[in-house]
A and B are shown apart, each in its own frame.
Chain A
Amino acid sequence: MEPNGQQFHVVGSRVPRVDALEKVTGRARYTADVHLPGLLYGVFVRSPYAHARITRIDVSKARALPGVMAVMTQQDLTEDQALVIQEEVHATRRVLNLFATDKVTYQGQKIAAIAAVSREIAEDAVRLVEVEYDPLPAYIDPRDAAKPETTMIYDDRQPVIGPHGETLHNVAGESHHQIGDVDQGFRDADRIFEDTYIVHRAHQTYIEPQSCIAEVGPDGKVTVWSSTQGHFAVRANISSSLGIPLSQINSIGMTIGGGFGAKFGGIIDTYAVLLAQKTRRPVKIVYTREEEFLDARPAPGAVITIKTGVTHDGTITARQAFALWDPGIGSGGCGATGRIQGVYSIPNVKWDAYDIHTNKPAPGAYRAPGAPQATFASESQLNRIAHELGIDPVELRLKNMREGDQVDFKATLKAVADHVGWWQREHDTGPNQGWGVAVGEWTNGAGPGAAVVSIHEDGSVSVFSGLMDITGTDSAMAVIAAEVLGVEYQRVKVIRGDTDSAPYATASGGSVITFSMGNAVLRAAEEARERILALAAEQFAVPVDRLELRDGQVVDRDHPENAMSLAEAARLGMRTIGGPIVGRGAFAAQPSATTIAAQIAKVEVNPDTGQVRLLKYVGSLDVGRAIYALGVEGQMEGGAVQGFSWGLMEQMQYAIDGRNANPNLLDYRIPTAMDVPYVESVLVEVPTKNGPFGCKGVGEPPIAPGIAVVAGAIHDAIGVWCNEAPITPERVVMACQERKDGVRG
C-alpha cells in the first residue's frame, strides 16, 4: 500500500527489462548490425585544420579508384540542399553547406563524402583526395574569441556591446534575465562572494558510435535505419535538409547503444541519403571513435563568474552571473546560466550570458544540457560560502530552499544526508578524506505522441507506438499498460513502429518519455479497459461499475462467479460489431513539476599526486513515482557516474592550433570498473498531478550536481577549492601549490 492509499500491482516493482534477453544474448540489432545486399560503406574527407581557407579540392584520383562508387562535394549538390540554421536573438539566418567549400572552421569539418564497396577501399579513397589549405589562427577559448581584436569566425557577425559596455566579438547567442534588484540585494548583504568557474567541453561518449544506413527505392522513396533518440526527428532533418517530402522518407529507429542527448539526427543521416541517392545502392555510415571526437555534437564548455550576497546567518540576498559559453561554430548553452537560481528563494537575481564562437564543432545536448556547468558554479560557491560562514553546507541549503510545487526539496536533501550519516560523518572520516554535497534541479519536458494498445485473443497485450526506447522507457510502458489492464507485466509486448507505420512520437530527450508517452499509453490502455468492461457488463447483464480487471480477469465484485479471462473478452470482442479490442491514447503537453537531485560523495585525496579516489557516492531524487523502479535506479546511478566523471576526468582537449588532442578513449578518459565506487540511490516520491501515476522525468537531473559534489569533497579533504573542471590530479596539485604560494586560500 502506498502512503496516499493507492495500491499498485506492477508500478514500482522490480521486474526485468523487456529488452534484457535480446541484449544479454547479443541478439539485439543495432544499426551497424544491419547488412543489406549491395551495401556500400560511406566515409568522409575531413579538414585536418581547425581554421583555414581551402584553395583547392581535387577528388579525381579518388573517383578513379576501383570499388569507389561515389565521391560527393558541395559542387554535386543543388542550392537548396543545405542545413538552414535560424538564430532568433540576432535575427540571423545561416545556411550551412553540408560540405566545406572555401573555408573550414573546425578540425574534422566534412569536405567530401565517399561511398565504396568496402570500408577499406573507402578509406583508401580518402587518402587520394587532394585538398590544399591556407591555415588561419584558431580560437579555442571563448574568452579569447570574444576579445575585440579578434576576427569574426563568421564574416556576417557584428560586435555586441556587453553589460559593462565592453565590446564582444564572435557572439553566437545571448541570454539576459533580471529578477528584483541585485544592486539593492548586494547592499543588503553582509558578505559578498565572487568566483569564476570553468568547465571544459565533455563528449557524451555513447558506446555505440553514430550509425546510419540509407537506401533509395526505384520510386525515390528513402528508407533510413539509424541509431537515434527520435526517428521522427531524423525524418524531419532529412526532409528539410534535402528537400524530400516527409511521405517519401521512412525512418526506422534501431536499438540504440546510448545517446545521452547527441542522437537526434543531422550528423550523418543526410549524407547517407545523399550517397544512396547518387549510387542507388544502400549506404552505411558508422563513425569511428576519432570522428566522434572531431565531428559530433559534444557538451559546450563554460566560463561562469558568479557573485552571491549573504547575510551573516547565511540568507542569500542576491546572486548575479556573467558567463561565456563555448558552443564552437554553433550556438546553444548560455540560456542554462539561469540555473544559478537553483532551488533557492533568492529575491534578486541577474545574469548576462553569451555563446561565443570558437573553432570547434557545434555543441549538442548532453543529459540536462547546461545544468552541470551552471550548477558547478552556483553549488560550488555555496559550499565555499558555507565554509566561510561556518555553517554546515546542508543546513545552509535547507535554510535558503524555497517551497516547491509537487516536489519536496528539503525532504530530498535530508533523505540523502540521513542515508550517508551526514551528521555523524566526522566519525567516518580518515586523513585526507572529505565529504561533499550539492543539489541540482530540473523540470522534465513534454511532447506530443500517440499509442495503440491491443488485446490479443490469448489475453496478451501489445503496446504499439513510435517511441524510441532509451534504456528503460519501453519497460515503463509495459508497466503502465499492465497496471491499467490488470495483467502480468510479462504478458505485455512493447513494439516500436517506423515512421511509416507508427503515429508520431516525440523524441526521447528532455526526460519526456515516461511523462508524455506514458500518458498516451495510459490513455490507450484505459480505453481498451473501458471496452473490455463494457463487453463483459453486457455479457453478464450487470452494471459496468461492478466490474474490475485484475489478475488477467474481468470480475464482478458482488458476484465473483461472473468472471471472464482477458482472452475470452478479446475473443468476445471479435464477435461483436466493435471488433477486436484496441485502445488509442494521445498526448500533447501538460505542465510538469520540478525535481531535485541531491548527492553526497566521500573522497580520499592524495595531496602529493593530486589523485582523487571516490569512496562513496549516494544520490537522492524526487522521482514523483517510480513506475519502472530498476530503470529509475539505473538512471540515477548512470547520471551520477556521468556527473562525477565530468567533475574528475572528462575534458576534450584542444591544442593551440585548435586541433583535438585526445580523440580516443585512452586519452579522453571515462570511468572504468576501477574508477566507480558503489553508487547508492535514495528514491523520494512526491507524486505530480500530470505524470502517469504521478511520475516525473528522471533521466537528466542526476547528472546536474556531480561536478560541485566532488569539488566540495576535495575541499573538505585537503582544504583547497578547485574551480576548473574536470578536477584532474594536475589541477589538484596546482591548487595545492597555489595555496602554498599564497595565491589562494
Chain B
Amino acid sequence: MAKDRHEEQRPPSRAPNPVSSTISRRGFLKGIGTGAITAAVAPAVLMTQPDTADAQTLPGITQAQITLKVNGKPYKVDVESRTTLLSVLREKLDLTGAKLVCDRGECGGCTVLMDGKPVYACMMLALDAQGHEITTIEGLAAGDRLHPIQEAFIEHDALMCGFCTPGFVVAIKGLLDKTPNPTLDDIKRGVSGNICRCGTYPRVFQAALTAAQKMRKGG
C-alpha cells in the first residue's frame, strides 16, 4: 500500500541537528551500497576497475554489469555500487519521465512501480532492482492509446508545470491496481508521498476517481 511506502521510505525522524551535516542521509544510503555490494549483487559480474577511459572512482566504489527489466524489456547496464535506479533509468536508458527532484525520498517525483508497488527510484540502488519488474511512466500507454489515468489527467486538467505529473500518474496506477474502488481518502493517502507545487491536488483527486471508474469498466 502506498501508505506503507510512505512509512518505509521516509526517514523515521527529523535530523536531530538542525544544521545540515556534511554526510547527508542520502549520501549515507549511497555509502551503504558500497559496503553491501557482495550481498546485493549475487547475479552480477563484479569489476574492480572502471571500464571507461577517463573515469575513475574513489577507492571502495565497485562497478558491475547488471540486467534490469523495465517496461517489460530486459536491459544490460553498467553501474557502480552507488548508482540509483533513477540514475540508470534517466542517464542510461533515456527514460526521463521519472524526475530527479530531491534525491532523498521526500517528493515522489521519481516514483516508478516495482512489481506493481510504487517506489522512489532515487532511494533504490540499481543493484537492488535486479530481478524485479520495473514500470515507468513511459510504460503506461499502449502504443498511442493512453492509460485511463493519463486520459483522466488531461480531462480534469490535473497538471500545470507537469514536472511532478509522471510521479503522480504512476503512484495512482499503483494504488488503483490494488484498490480499484478507492475513497477520496484512499486517493489522498495514495499520493501523499508526492508533492505538487503548482497546487493541482484537488484536480488530481478528481482524475484518480474518474480513472478508477474507467478502469473498473475495463479501461
Contacts and interface: CB of A to CB of B under 8 A. Distances in A.
A67 B54 contact: yes
A192 B137 CA distance: 59
Interface in A661-682: 661-667, 670-674, 676, 678-679
Nearest to B105: A666
B163 A208 contact: yes
Contacts of B155: 16
B18 A120 contact: no
A258 B195 contact: no
A121 B138 CA distance: 29
21 contacts: A16-B157, A24-B159, A24-B162, A26-B95, A32-B90, A32-B96, A124-B58, A208-B161, A257-B99, A257-B162, A289-B102, A630-B157, A634-B157, A637-B199, A638-B200, A661-B18, A662-B18, A666-B10, A666-B11, A672-B195, A679-B199
Interface of A: 14, 16-17, 19-30, 32-33, 35, 48, 65-67, 117-118, 120-121, 124, 204-209, 255-258, 260, 286, 288-290, 470-472, 630, 633-634, 637-642, 653, 655, 657, 659-667, 670-674, 676, 678-679
B199 A641 contact: yes
B90 A33 contact: yes
B195 A665 contact: yes
Interface residues of B, number: 72
B198 interface: yes
* Cβ-closest 4 pairs across A and B: A26-B97, A257-B163, A23-B162, A641-B199
A470 B162 CA distance: 10
A33 B200 CA distance: 23
The secondary-structure label for the interface of chain A is loop
Interface stretch (B37-45, B126-134, B201-209): B201-209
Nearest to A15: B157
A321 B54 CA distance: 61
B194 interface: yes
A383 to B, nearest CB: 24
Contact of B202 (A19, A637, A642): A637
B163 A30 contact: yes
Nearest to A629: B157
Contacts of B61: 120
Interface in B63-98: 80, 82, 90-91, 94-98
Contact of A659 (B20, B98, B154): B20
Contacts of B20: 290, 659-661, 663-664
A676 B160 contact: no
Contact of A673 (B55, B165, B201): B201
B153 A20 contact: yes
A673 B188 contact: yes
Contacts of A25: 97, 137-138, 140-141, 146, 150
Interface in B1-57: 10-11, 14-15, 18-20, 22, 24, 52, 54-57
A670 B97 contact: no
A24 B90 contact: no
A26 B137 contact: yes
Nearest to B97: A26
Contacts of B200: 634, 637-638
Given A29-B96, A638-B198, 13 more contacts: A20-B154, A25-B137, A26-B136, A33-B96, A117-B54, A117-B55, A120-B61, A207-B164, A257-B163, A260-B197, A472-B160, A634-B198, A674-B188
A67 B197 contact: no
B124 interface: no
Contacts of B90: 32-33
Contact of A676 (B141, B163, B202): B202
Contacts of A124: 57-58
A30 B97 CA distance: 10
